[in-house]
Amino acid sequence: MSANEDALEWKEKGNECVRNGKFEEAIMHYTAAIKSDPRNPTLYSNRSLAFLKSKQHYYAFMDARETIKLRPDWAKGYFRKGEVEMSAGRAGDALFSYGLAKRLQPNDSSISAALSKAEEAYNKEKRREQVPWLCAGIGIITGVIIIMCDQLLTKTPSTSHPLLMAFITIAISALGYGLARAWKYHVESQAKSLLEPPVDLIPEMNGHNPPSESQNETTEKNHSRFTKAQARAKLRKGKT
């Protein structure tokens, strides 16, 4: 069996696993296919999807980039990259990737739909940037209400001094702004960490170098389906 035929057989097994929702097994099959045909962009594209479905964003992102590297004029690579970026909460980056895919394949309805979704998500991101200032404004209003209630509803107001009134208002406003900034930083940090490499990279998942002759012989001798337990054992270290 030739290397291309071997890769095709592994690819078909991976595709079947994807259709059945067995994404971890699919990753192992696509990896075996890549070892037989390391210059095939379709294999990286398919494995990128399987990694994304397994919530392994870093590996999905790297495979999408490899797809683009091997075939820069293919819209699917940019589409895969956009899908990973959208899932990782990077709507701005996804918008750019989908735009490149749209330029290469302008009549693809799935790309158009993804582009519209990314635009909507990006606009929401821009609106979220105003949240800290909105919270600061709410803090000012809250401070004023507290002072007014103290002045109008109590016989001996505790906030009669103008400087104390100003301090309370500013403090509540700063608290609202600070909490909103902390929340925004937390969300952005989570999105950023999704595309960072895991602590323990899986060497056999890289799949970018062609296997040796001995590896090819071993692959052909053991050309059977990976079980779900085997796939999970292989991937356990790579999960974030």
Q: Which CATH number do you get for residue 75? A: 1.25.40.10
What is the residue-wise DSSP string for the chain? --HHHHHHHHHHHHHHHHHTT-HHHHHHHHHHHHHH-TT-HHHHHHHHHHHHHTT-HHHHHHHHHHHHHH-TT-HHHHHHHHHHHHHTT-HHHHHHHHHHHHHHSTT-HHHHHHHHHHHHHHHHHHHHTTHHHHHHHHHHHHHHHHHHHHHHH-SS-S--SHHHHHHHHHHHHHHHHHHHHHHHHHHHHHHHHHTSPPSS--HHHH--SPPPHHHHHHHHHT-SPPPHHHHHHHHGGG--
Report pLDDT for 199: 64
In a domain, 80, yes or no: yes
**How many other CB atoms sit within 10 Å of the CB of residue 173?**
20
- Whether residues 84 and 12 share a domain: the answer is yes
In a domain, 100, yes or no: no
- Whether residues 219 and 163 share a domain: the answer is no
pLDDT tens track for 94-121: 999 999 999 999 999 999 999 999 999 8
Report pLDDT for 211: 38
- Whether residues 199 and 84 share a domain: the answer is yes
- Whether residues 176 and 222 share a domain: the answer is no
In a domain, 105, yes or no: no
In a domain, 177, yes or no: yes
pLDDT tens track for 127-153: 777 778 888 888 888 888 888 887 888
- Whether residues 31 and 148 share a domain: the answer is no
- Whether residues 137 and 82 share a domain: the answer is no
**How many other CB atoms sit within 10 Å of the CB of residue 202?**
18
In a domain, 48, yes or no: yes
- Whether residues 44 and 163 share a domain: the answer is no
Report pLDDT for 129: 76
- Whether residues 69 and 144 share a domain: the answer is no
- Whether residues 41 and 23 share a domain: the answer is yes
Give the pTM: 0.66
Structural domain count of the chain: 2
In a domain, 123, yes or no: no
C-alpha to C-alpha distance for 114 and 132, rounded to whole angstroms: 29
Low-confidence ranges of the chain (pLDDT < 50): 202, 204-224, 237-240
Report pLDDT for 212: 39
Q: For residue 24, what are the domain limits? A: 3-90+195-233
- Whether residues 61 and 174 share a domain: the answer is no
In a domain, 168, yes or no: yes
C-alpha to C-alpha distance for 94 and 115, rounded to whole angstroms: 8
- Whether residues 36 and 151 share a domain: the answer is no
- Whether residues 188 and 208 share a domain: the answer is no
Report pLDDT for 235: 54
